[in-house]
Structure 1
Amino acid sequence: MAKVNRARSTSPPDGGWGWMIVAGCFFVTICTRAVTRCISIFFVEFQTYFSQDYAQTAWIHSIVDCVTMLCGLGFALCYSPAIAMVGKYFSRRKALAYGISMSGSGIGIFILAPVVQLLIEQFSWRGALLILGGFVLNLCVCGALMRPITLKEDQTTPEQNPVCRTQTQDLKQASPCSAWTKEWVRTCLCGSLQQEYSFLLTSDFAVLATSVLFMAYGCSPLFVYFVPYALSVGVTHQQAAFLMSILGVIDIIGNITFGWLTDRRCLKNYQYVCYLVAIGLDGLCYLCLPMLQSLPLLVPFACTFGYFDGAYVTLIPVVTAEIVGTTFLSSALGVVYFLHAVPYLVSPPIAGWLVDTTGSYTAAFLLCGFSMIFSSLLLGFARVVKKMKKTQLRFLAKESDPKLQLWTNGSVAYSVARELDQKDGESVTQQCLVPVPHDQWP
């Protein structure tokens, strides 16, 4: 097989072939996230054909989303790597690049929702799924656009302990099948994995991971139950598909405009805050949904929820990169999307069970709303606590030494004033040691 030629660069190019990566990621999100979210249109067909309740039917969508985020199977082999590649090619305009890439989900919903409804009417749900399967084959074309790139930080990051690597090679030459060789290889692999996933031990990533669990629990059920809820309040099938299209097109606007806005100089340092605000506002939309029981009221909901859904989805890779850095972005994104799996698996069936038990969507939507609001508040509280600790550290440092000027870079702090005092003391000592002539002795 031909060897893959890697594009080499010392820093993210912020353009060039990067825009082809963005285009590939754009179509990947259409073929993955948009297709799975259109399963909401199939929900009523499945429920009618198989004569099952809400909780049982919801497992179809839950398993698709869970496997996508949990395994290396199916859509997962396309979705996470495509997103990570965008982060490799862009730095200065990263939020905008992600906004364009992730807008594929909204555009896909906008186009596919009415198309899927038409396909179901013409070819039944079985024929519609076959046609969607042929459409998803375009992922092969998207994969051909992904050209690997080697960045400066990737070149400087050691992949393996050199001592470990040398000893492993010696042992392999001595006895390739010996037990010692296998043990050394296992030890080296564990060390490499420990280095690659060292960000898991940081408190910032632990808070982000916990927040992602609650956010993922809240965001998934709407795309399963929005169409059935609209039908339950008297909206027609065509109007319900139209609502999904509105949600999709506004999702596009949220992806692109929010990514562009947060890349501006005035908001560049507040991307983390914008992320948690968008999640909190989506939670508030959930709380209002049970009171909206007509098409004129559901249209503004679709616009509002769709915009902020696109907004925070765009910032997930940006916030992750801010916490772990570009070098570990691919691994960190894999973990973040892996954490989506369990909530995606259980939240639609739990919401369906609540609908079956209460005979209403109110309890299911309220639970999702409070889950997303808690996710936002958790991130905000963690950021406030971190800033308070930094302020307290600076205050204590100034109190202990008035001349101390403190710079913080991670956990390293140093004093320029103290170093200057030491140099002054050394110069005075040297002056005192200069020999004096005898005639000048006192």
Structure 2
Amino acid sequence: MSAMMKKSLHTLPPDGGWGWMIVIGCFLVTVCTRAVTRCISIFFVEFQAYFGQDYSRTAWIHSIVDCATMLCAPLGSYVSNHVSCQVGIILGGVLASTGLVLSSFATSLEYLYLTLGVLTGLGFALCYSPAIAMVGKYFDKRKALAYGIAMSGSGIGTFILAPVVQLLIEQFSWRGALLILGGFVANLCVCGALMRPISLKEDFAHRSLKQEHNANEQNESISSSTKCSPLSQDCSHKSLCYCSQKEYSFLLKPNFIVLAVSFLFLAYGCSPPFVYLVPYSLSVGVSHQQAAFLMSILGVIDIVGNITFGWLTDRRFLKKHRYACYLIAVALDGLSCLFLPILTCFQLLVPFSVTFGYFDGAYVALIPVVTGDVVGTAHLSSALGVVFFLHAVPYLVSPPISGWLVDTTGNYTAAFLLSGFSMIFCAILLAFAKLIMKLDRKELTLTVPASDTKQEICTNGDLSHSATEEHNHKDV
């Protein structure tokens, strides 16, 4: 047993080998989750015509599945951490596929809210964050490139699936298309089988500390009371609280709190341009074919941004500045939204699609990288669950708020300005937080005596452990 543990234990991520299979698996997960979620909008016209409901009620289907995917992301991280990533993704694939298959028998919109919205969204949540976290386990030097390739599945999948889904609807009706889509999503189970677990030195250190604490707790409980069952001894309240505290200890770190708040503004700002680009284009006289072509351009350039920006930020001269690159990408994405209201013809809207699509793909590829740099590899799965959870409410409310602004003002200017300023504020907030932390670090190095610098500090993910901390944990 010890020989197997030594064989599977890695000091650093292998940066290759089976890791490229993990990237392929994560790529397919993003195709089957995010791309399929985007393609659900293709069914809107069919649902509206079949059930005889207005657009606002029909639009809730897309909002619910998107919100459920992000809202239940911490559950996906919990299953991945406490059972296994493979089990979580396979279970999610079964739930998502079942939800799509059951949706093909829908008799009302309320039925679709539960099956296509809640059940499918829950299945996607169990797959999405664990798959992304696994890429961070296998890559370090080429992490941004690996994430760029993996996250490009959303754009590539949308580009390929959108016409295929439309063809399926024309050939087999929306019921047959949902049934076939359910079979396609079942491939998430295959993706889950690819997620071979890996043990890093950082994970092993945390696991050893937890096991030592659990052993102490069991010894204390056995000596204090012989009436407790083995199950209650293993899952004592104090031990559960301690494990949860260690697993989500990053929540109290100031740099993660600032990052979490910034994600709220980012998630609000990035959604309306995708929803309202086509309606705005039609309102300024662009034809339906040209408006659809603008979305195709945006999707293709999004893929280019995923891969090329990930490759660039892995270069030696930019690797130390990935945080700054992330801020620049978010800020430029928001800036492009500010110019959108004055672009009133197809020739001017094409540069917007290129700019917005590229920087959207750029910062999306860096979200897991920046999060991993803040919390460390050991907490990446839990942190991504929290990060995607924070996206849920903005994703749910931003399109309706933008729609209300359009109805109130009679144009799209206020909606796009609010979206752009929200993303720019996200970048400014993170820049100020980084500047303050640098100033505090400089003051600390000037004021702390040389004798106090002997305390061991692990800079990866701002994790720090001293001998006194470990002693305190043992006494909990």
> Aligning the two structures, in what range does the TM-score lie when normalised by the shorter sequence?
0.7 to 0.9
Q: Corresponding residue for 2:364?
A: 313
Query: Cα distance, 1:194 vs. partner?
Result: 0.3
Quick one: structure 1 residues 380 and 58, their matched pair in 2 at CA, closer, same or farther if it must change by over 3 Å? farther
Q: Residues 163-202 of structure 1: CA distance to partner in whole angstroms, max 9, x if unpaired?
A: 54344267469223499x5797011100111011111111
Does residue 1:175 correspond to 2:227, yes or no?
yes
Query: d(CA) in 2 for partners of 1:128 and 1:250?
Result: 28
SS in 2 for 1:86: helix
Amino acid in structure 2 at the alignment position of 1:150: S
Tell me the residue number matched to 2:14.
13
For residue 78 of structure 1, the aligned residue among 121, 127, 137 is: 127
Instruction: Give the C-alpha shift of residue 46 in structure 1.
Output: 5.2
How do residues 84-233 of structure 1 correspond to structure 2 at under 5 angstroms? 84-157=133-206, 158-160=208-210, 162-168=212-218, 171=221, 174-177=226-229, 181=232, 185-233=236-284
Matched AA of 1:378: L
Deviates more, 1:51-60 or 1:254-263: 51-60
Change (3 A) 1:409 1:278: farther
Q: Give the AA of the match of 1:305.
A: F
TM-score after normalising by structure 2:
0.77
> Which digits, 9 at most, give the CA deviation of each residue in 1:185-238, with x for residues without a partner?
011100111011111111000000000111011112233223333333344444
Q: What displacement does 1:126 show?
A: 4.6
Segment drifting more, 360-369 vs 17-26 = 360-369
CA contact (8 A) 1:205 1:323 kept: yes
User: Matches of 1:226 and 1:40 in 2, distance apart?
Assistant: 14
8 Å contact kept, 2:269–2:423? yes
Deviations along 1:109-153, one digit per CA (max 9) or x if unpaired, are 222233344444555555444443332222122111111111111
Preserved contact between residue 280 and residue 373 of structure 1 (Cα < 8 Å): yes
CA contact (8 A) 2:343 2:349 kept: yes
| Residue number in structure 1 paired with 2:416 | 365
Deviation at residue 406 of structure 1 after TM alignment: 7.8
SS of the residue corresponding to residue 321 of structure 2 reads helix
Whether the 8 Å CA contact 1:59–1:348 is kept in 2: the answer is: no
Distance (Å, rounded) in 1 between the aligned partners of 2:179 and 2:409: 36
In structure 2, the CA distance between the partners of 1:301 and 1:119, relative to structure 1 (3 Å rule), is farther
Deviation (angstroms), 1:154: 1.2
Structure 1 contact 65–341 (Cα < 8 Å) conserved: yes
CA shift in 2, pair 1:251/1:152, >3 Å? same
Tell me the equivalent position of 1:24: 25
Distance 1:411 1:24, change over 3 A: closer
Contact 1:102 1:313 in 2 (8 A): yes
Q: Shift in Å at residue 59 of structure 1? A: 2.5
Q: Measured at CA, do residues 235 and 136 of structure 1 come closer, stay the same or move farther in structure 2, by a change above 3 Å?
A: farther
Distance 1:134 1:239 in 2: 33
User: What do the CA deviations read for 1:345-364 (whole angstroms, capped 9, x no partner)?
Assistant: 11122222222333322222
For the 8 Å contact 2:23–2:150, the answer to whether it is kept is yes
How far does residue 160 in structure 1 lie from its aligned partner after superposition?
2.1
CA displacement, residues 355-404 of structure 1 (integer Å, 9 cap, x when unaligned): 2333322222221111111111100111111112223334556xxx9x99
2:296 matched to which residue of 1?
245
Q: Provide the C-alpha distance between the structure 2 equivalents of 1:112 and 1:299, rounded to a whole number of angstroms.
A: 22
Q: Quick check: 1:111–1:245 contact (8 Å CA) kept in 2?
A: no
- In structure 2, the residue corresponding to 1:266 is in which secondary structure? helix
1:66 paired with 2:117, answer no
Deviation of 1:341 after TM superposition, in Å, equals 1.1
The answer on whether the counterparts of 1:10 and 1:152 sit within 8 Å (CA) in structure 2 is yes
Q: Which amino acid aligns with 2:191?
A: C
Q: C-alpha root-mean-square deviation of aligned residues, in Å?
A: 3.1
Confirm or deny that 1:375 pairs with 2:375.
Answer: no
Segment drifting more, 227-236 vs 170-179? 170-179
Distance (whole Å) between structure 1 residues aligned to residue 411 and residue 169 of structure 2: 27
Work out the CA distance in 1 between the residues paired with 2:441 and 2:294.
Answer: 47
Q: 2-side partners of 1:333 and 1:167: how far apart?
A: 30
Q: Does 1:351 align with 2:352?
A: no
Q: Which runs of 5+ in 2 are unaligned?
A: 76-121, 460-476
Gaps of 5+ in 1: 413-442
Partner of 2:375: 324
Pick closer, same or farther for the CA change 1:156–1:149 going to 2, 3 Å.
same
Answer whether contact 1:58 1:349 (CA < 8 A) is retained.
no
**8 Å CA contact 1:212, 1:336 repeated in 2:** yes
Deviation at 1:161, TM superposition (A): 6.0
Question: What is the CA–CA distance in structure 1 between the aligned matches of 2:442 and 2:344, rounded to whole Å?
Answer: 49
Greater per-residue helix proportion: 2
- Amino acid paired to 1:349: P
Whichever residue aligns with residue 106 of structure 1, its letter is G
**C-alpha deviations, 1:75-116, integer Å up to 9, x for none?**
011111100000001111111110110111111122223334
SS of residue matched to 2:236: helix
Q: 1:207 to 1:135 in 2, by over 3 A?
A: same
Tell me what 1:429 maps to.
none
Asked if the contact 1:161–1:188 (Cα under 8 Å) also holds between the matched residues in 2, the reply is: no
Shift of the 292–113 alpha-carbon distance from structure 1 to 2, 3 Å rule, reads farther
Match of 1:254 among 289, 293, 305: 305
Q: Is the 8 A contact 1:153 1:327 kept in 2?
A: yes
**Partner of 2:98 in structure 1?**
none
1:37–1:223 contact (8 Å) kept in structure 2: no
Report the AA paired with residue 36 of structure 1.
T
Q: Distance in 1 between matches of 2:333 and 2:45?
A: 25
Residue type of the alignment partner of 1:103: S
- Quick one: distance in 2 between partners of 1:217 and 1:243? 22
Q: CA deviation at 1:280?
A: 0.9
2:192 maps to a residue whose letter is G
Q: Is the 8 Å Cα contact of residues 217 and 239 (structure 2) preserved in structure 1?
A: no
Please report the TM-score for the alignment, with normalisation by the length of structure 1: 0.82
Letter in 2 for 1:175: K
Distance 1:223 1:37, change over 3 A: farther
